[in-house]
Every structure is written in structure tokens, then in C-alpha cells.
């Protein structure tokens, strides 16, 4: 039983490593899309992925601010 459990742990580590390497080679963690998070005065937040219409507007503004050095 211990031997089987040890082999399963090793197999899990190998599979996990393969998934991590595959993600890295595809361009980062989970697609690595830009995400905009807006925090309101009441403490609530809203997040937008850059591949949504709302998120595209925010990411364009953020990129322009970065280019300006702000």
C-alpha cells in the first residue's frame, strides 16, 4: 500500500510538472490575459478581462497611462 501511494505521489508530481511546463510554453499562467479590477468607494470591486468590451476600454486607458509614465 505504501509503495502504491508513493508511486501515485510521484506520478502526480510528474503530471503537475508537465501541466506547468505546458502552461508556460503557451504563454503564461492560464492564458495570461490582462485583467482590470475597479474598486468603488463602498469597498465593492468589479473585475473585467481584457477580452471583454468593458475590459478592452479599461486596458486601453491603462496602457496609455503607462506609456505616458503615470
* pLDDT the model gives residue 67: 87
- How far, CA to CA in Å, does 45 sit from each of 1, 6, 60, 65? 48, 44, 19, 21
> Where do the domains of the chain lie?
1-32, 33-70
* pLDDT the model gives residue 4: 78
- How far, CA to CA in Å, does 1 sit from each of 6, 11, 51? 9, 15, 48
Q: Which cell numbers in the block locate residue 59?
A: 486596458
What does the pLDDT look like over 45-55, one tens digit per residue? 888 887 788 88
**pLDDT, averaged in runs of 10, over the chain (70 residues):** 76 76 63 73 85 82 83
Amino acid at each position: 500500500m505504501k509503495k502504491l501511494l508513493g508511486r501515485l505521489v510521484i506520478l502526480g508530481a510528474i503530471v503537475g510538472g508537465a501541466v506547468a511546463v505546458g502552461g508556460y510554453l503557451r504563454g503564461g499562467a492560464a492564458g495570461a490575459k490582462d485583467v482590470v479590477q475597479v474598486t468603488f468607494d463602498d469597498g465593492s470591486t468589479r473585475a473585467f478581462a481584457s477580452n471583454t468590451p468593458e475590459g478592452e476600454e479599461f486596458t486601453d486607458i491603462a496602457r496609455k497611462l503607462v506609456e505616458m509614465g503615470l
